[in-house]
Chains A and B, each alone.
Chain A
């Protein structure tokens, strides 16, 4: 039997079936914690933050358009929560204009599944993730670890799709540079 989609479950919650929200928590708790650990580079307070994400998601469930995908919507809430945590720690650089989002970028093609990272390489990257600025870390984690499409990442981060590709490419270059310095 096919599993009920996230969107169908969310629709049930919107209709008043509060218990159905438990299914969404089960499906996303681990993923959001994992994203938080990698994005914030800490496991401290992640559980509380993810709990707040679900509280916000439940409170605002009627703002979710069930004709769209649920995953980017909840990741968007989580991303905002984590960015706010970074801001509180003054670890998130403030900028009015981000050059990556101002000018049109060459459309960076999404790589095929075969080019996704294998487990060993993922571990190596994870060790260097903290050297990346948050704006590069987020798309990299969402793409390689959460296996999201460029379009979904663009919706989570609210940036142009082409910018997602550019940031992932730059993130890889920066990681490569950091790796070369450690192991020349």
Chain B
């Protein structure tokens, strides 16, 4: 009998070496699965929160206005939440790596699959009323309230949402959801919907504003649902007189 066999078998017969019971592994495996489930839930929640903020502030839609829109989109991403999401993806990938379905495939595939599936869940969650409800409940609270206030209530300074109040020679008057009035200047360079805009329609506008005047780079119809329950800073200036005409159905 070899030394190794002799030593190990003697330890077993003396009772120095005992098997861990099956339930030990069942519990360990269950805990790992539960941890994975929790991490996945928080990943979906974080991603849906990012979508919610981007949709709520209108920033999610500005890339359709070209390079400048894409830059505004990238600048406005809640990078802290994006970083947190990346950390969650990494941790989940590491936890899943113990299972053959994960390690037997290239890491990039499992990460893409993880992001893909979680984004599907996030899109569904972002469509639900969850974040509106949470926002209403936590907006005065320190940590979560700060996150919602920080990202959800402060749109990019070039992104404006409001309803078309009246038409002018130069464009139209925009009434923001909190009652500020803007003069929107529309030119040939403005990217706008093919169909005519109607008075009273809610629109998203990309354009720098100065002393109450917005030079529109792009105009897009905006679903009213996105701005429900939202609050807005009340620091926007009054509009100036208009000069250029715009085609809008009265």
Chain A positions within 8 Å of B, measured between CB atoms, are 14, 18-19, 21-22, 25-26, 29, 47, 50-51, 54-55, 58-63, 97, 101-105, 154-155, 158-163
Chain B positions within 8 Å of A, measured between CB atoms, are 2-5, 7-9, 11-13, 17-22, 24-25, 97-98, 100, 103-109
Name the A residues within 8 Å of B20 (CB-CB): 59-60, 62-63
Contact B19 A58 (CB under 8 A): yes
Contact A54 B8 (CB under 8 A): yes
Name the B residues within 8 Å of A161 (CB-CB): 104
Contact A47 B17 (CB under 8 A): no
Q: List 19 A-B contacts (CB under 8 A).
A: A14-B19, A18-B13, A21-B8, A21-B12, A25-B4, A25-B8, A25-B9, A29-B2, A29-B5, A54-B4, A60-B19, A60-B20, A62-B22, A62-B25, A101-B106, A103-B108, A160-B104, A162-B106, A163-B106
Contact A59 B108 (CB under 8 A): no
Contact B8 A58 (CB under 8 A): yes
Contact B104 A55 (CB under 8 A): no
With A103-B108, A158-B103 given, can you name 16 additional A-B contacts, CB distance below 8 Å?
A: A18-B12, A19-B9, A21-B12, A25-B5, A25-B9, A29-B2, A55-B8, A55-B11, A58-B12, A58-B17, A59-B19, A62-B24, A101-B106, A103-B106, A105-B106, A163-B106
Q: How far is it, in angstroms, between the C-alpha of A158 and the C-alpha of B3 when the chains are bound?
A: 31
Q: Which residue of A lies closest to B109 (CB)?
A: A104
Q: How far is it, in angstroms, between the C-alpha of A14 and the C-alpha of B3 when the chains are bound?
A: 24
Of the candidates B9, B19, B103, B104, the one whose C-beta lies within 8 Å of that of A22 is B9
The tally of CB-CB contacts under 8 A between chains A and B is 77
Of the candidates A21, A50, A62, A160, the one whose C-beta lies within 8 Å of that of B105 is A160
Q: How far is it, in angstroms, between the C-alpha of A21 and the C-alpha of B4 when the chains are bound?
A: 12
Name the A residues within 8 Å of B21 (CB-CB): 62
Q: How far is it, in angstroms, between the C-alpha of A156 and the C-alpha of B100 when the chains are bound?
A: 11
Q: A55-B11, A59-B19, A161-B104 are in contact. Are A29 and B25 (CB under 8 A)?
A: no
Name the B residues within 8 Å of A154 (CB-CB): 103-104
Name the B residues within 8 Å of A25 (CB-CB): 2, 4-5, 8-9
Q: How far is it, in angstroms, between the C-alpha of A26 and the C-alpha of B104 when the chains are bound?
A: 31
Contact A59 B107 (CB under 8 A): no
Q: How far is it, in angstroms, between the C-alpha of A34 and the C-alpha of B189 when the chains are bound?
A: 75
Contact B106 A155 (CB under 8 A): no
Name the A residues within 8 Å of B5 (CB-CB): 22, 25-26, 29
Q: How far is it, in angstroms, between the C-alpha of A47 and the C-alpha of B7 when the chains are bound?
A: 11
Q: What is the minimal beta-carbon distance from B110 to any residue of chain A, in angstroms? A: 10
Name the A residues within 8 Å of B105 (CB-CB): 160
Of the candidates B4, B12, B107, B109, the one whose C-beta lies within 8 Å of that of A51 is B4
Name the B residues within 8 Å of A104 (CB-CB): 106, 108-109
Name the A residues within 8 Å of B98 (CB-CB): 158
Contact A102 B11 (CB under 8 A): no
Q: Which residue of B lies closest to A59 (CB)?
A: B20
Q: How far is it, in angstroms, between the C-alpha of A60 and the C-alpha of B17 when the chains are bound?
A: 11
Q: Which residue of B lies closest to A97 (CB)?
A: B107
Q: A25-B4, A47-B3, A60-B20 are in contact. Are A155 and B100 (CB under 8 A)?
A: yes
Q: What is the minimal beta-carbon distance from A4 to any residue of chain B, in angstroms? A: 17
Name the B residues within 8 Å of A19 (CB-CB): 9
